[in-house]
Structure 1
Amino acid sequence: MTPFKLTDELLEQIKQLIADNDTQELRSMMQEFHYADVAEIANELSVEEATYLIKLLDSETTSDVLTEMDEDVREAVLNNLSAKEIAEELEELDTDDAADIVGELPKEIVQEVISEIEDREHAKDIVDLLRYDENSAGGLMAKELVKVNENWTVLNCVGEMRKQAENVTRVHSIYVVDDEGKLKGRLSLKDLLTASTKTHIRDIYIPKVDSVNVNEKPEEVAKIMQKYDLEAIPVVDEIGRLVGRITIDDIVDVIKEEADKDYQMAAGISQDVEADDSIWELTRARLPWLILGLLGGLGAAAIMGGFEEMISQHAILFFFTPLIAAMAGNVGVQSSAIIVQGLANDDLKGSIGNRLVKEMLLALLNGLILAVLLLLFTWVWKGTFNTAVAISLSLVVVIVVAGLVGTFIPLFLHKRNIDPAIATGPFITTSNDIFGILIYFWIAKLILGI
């Protein structure tokens, strides 16, 4: 199968079909595309054109397309649909996707949309999901699943499973509950098929099953599913009742969103933005860290001003200032990036003290190697041994301090329940620039005796 590629020619052809109101040709063309490809097309159309395309398709396809569209485009399209039209799309979606869309609607029309959903059980499940924090397992889960009672016989169980499976896109697992709805375990399809029809489920189910609480953070759910290679995981409430399940496709979205957020924070962007956002939104996201960088630069300039006499006597020190600042920033970012990655993957073991000692030894080894190279270069270039020693020794100390700062800050933030990804960007770079320049000139002053 050839991967879909949205070309300018194809987009213009679709726009022309919309302009000509050629519904038959347009509908025939859309049937050849995957719903994710249709969503990609809709994202590039105007709101009116995207709305036209959405109304043209059948409800089942439209509902899938809506889940794949960019949030801002979807919001604009939904504003052009009636409450009844939105309800028809929601009925085709799993409850978790439906709840996500309802959560984006203006509050004044939510009740109207819910009342238009004909499947009242589906509507009840959507409303139930809306009460959970979106940044929790409850806000991520879907209600569709297959569960059986431990007191049922195999014969009864099969009949009930057939009814439930009609509303489930894919059956990853069969969960077993007691009379109060509490999760007891899972049922192997093989055991179900090979057991006597009179056998009770309690005699054949597997009691060991991984689950998460409704209040668990999505990032923690992702770690559990990744660790145990799960395609789906059941969600229980505060008293252990089975209330839903989270599937791997939802977790992939969580991992992508978390990676995007961490990448932006590491780059010095303080809020979630995209390239197509307005100039004002992009400015608000970037400006705070740029101001921090400006303050850091002013601080470094003030430090250098305090050593003005020494710089005037040894001008070569000035030439190496960018090198010292750059090495401090680079080492700090490297150290913090490794720690943040380890925290995200839950791979860090041992105490903070041991981690700092290890990082100090690593930074010392790297610093000594780089310092030797710098010493030889400076000595050959300028022929002043004391100056070369001062610059090289400063580099070693700066690298060690930068490594410790880059290690300690994300660990400290993590202990305070602050996202440590904030430490991998301008925060570390700016702080290490200031520390690096201060250490550089202070050591040079001691060695050169000024």
Structure 2
Amino acid sequence: MTSDSKSVSSNLSSASSGRASSGAATPVSEPTGNIVPSSRSGDFMSFLKDVLSFTGDLSSMTCPSFLLNGISLLEYGAHWSDYPHILAEITKATSSEERIKLVARWFVSTLYGSYNKRVAESNSGEKKPFNPILGEQFLASWDDAEYGETKFVCEQVSHHPPVSAIYFENAQAGIYGSGHFSQKSKFKGTTMKVVQEGRVTLRMKNSDEFYCLSLPDLNICSILSGKPFLEMSSTTFIRSSKGYTAEFHWYTKPWLYGEYHKFDGKVFKDAATTFVQDSLAQEQLFTFKGKWVAESRVTDVATGEDSVLFDVQAQPSADIIIKPVGEQSELESRRVWQKVSEALNSGNYDVASKEKTVIEEAQRALRKSRAEAGEQWKPSMFYWVDDSSDNEAVKACYTYLYSAKDSIGTGSWVYNNSPHLAEQSAAPSAYASGTQTPSDAFSTAPSSVL
């Protein structure tokens, strides 16, 4: 693959050379396999009755072990780096117009792994991940023949409310991002509605332009049948610091007709300080549409040229690299949940429940002991920055989005060793500036993992 910017644009119309594979799982809309073991059907019905009558945030309910998928929610964050070459190629763009198209391509590439891949590969329904303990960490990396290593870290920075902070970086390409996500869920009809709160800020070393991203909401469908799967809903945005915006509309399947997992959107330039839907001041540049679990296409408004934005089947995601459990720290996800996962994998649900309870009771004891000692726990890898205290350009970027997507919140969790801090000579000295103060504790870890 050549390194000139022209070749980067051409990659939108065909999969990156040398990466096509027939090994990618075929995306499915509705799983055929039931996630409920036949011996647990009674327990499942009892759980459903509790869920349907519950009025609070469903994340606070205890989920039966046979409905757990055996991995921590922190691992879901790693899908921001599923296609490290697509992330790295953003840095080859030579104009803001080209760059935001590549950022949109990368964003779409993160979605399949996050919300559909597990069901597509197993053809069974979506199960619930473990709720991370406070201070839990997930570390991973990916190798790419052209762009080298991409690293990822995720830390549970708050337990009430549950908040996961993420950071990813490809040092060779000079691109990195940090952010956080949190989920609130409730039943609506026969579907679980999940509102995702949070944001991600993407930066590059070879450009002063950066990007502010919001997150889609989720619908967990077919829960009552025991074959749940995810659809995305709502509208999300990518806003660049140079005034370019990508707007995505995610559609759920209508009741009697239509298709699953469709989306459309557009890219436009807008000099306004706040977003206004379909404002006449917006200069439209591109449109896109398709399925985020399959193929999506982008059209240049000026020329009418149509090309592939992203195609799940054209290229497999990169292989994730995770240290063996025996080499992980006591805070890393797969070590924290090892005994529970092993019991789930062997179908021993009673043991899984007991091991999960051991972890939860240890957390309660740590909360109590810290409260009695008057100690406040702090994350080891991230710190909180209110928008009011942030860089003016960052503040302006998120201010533009807030009128359209208030779930982005009013601040960011930032990685302690993010390169932009050194550039701004702004060391993370004031964690207390944040408003989301953790109220739980487990342990501490080294402040730098990258």
Query: Shared fold by TM > 0.5?
Result: no
Which TM-score tier does this pair reach, normalised by the shorter chain?
Answer: under 0.3
Using the size of structure 1 for normalisation, the TM-score is: 0.18
Larger RCO (CA within 8 A; separation ≥ 6): 2
- The structure with more helix, counted as a fraction of residues: 1
Using the size of structure 2 for normalisation, the TM-score is: 0.18
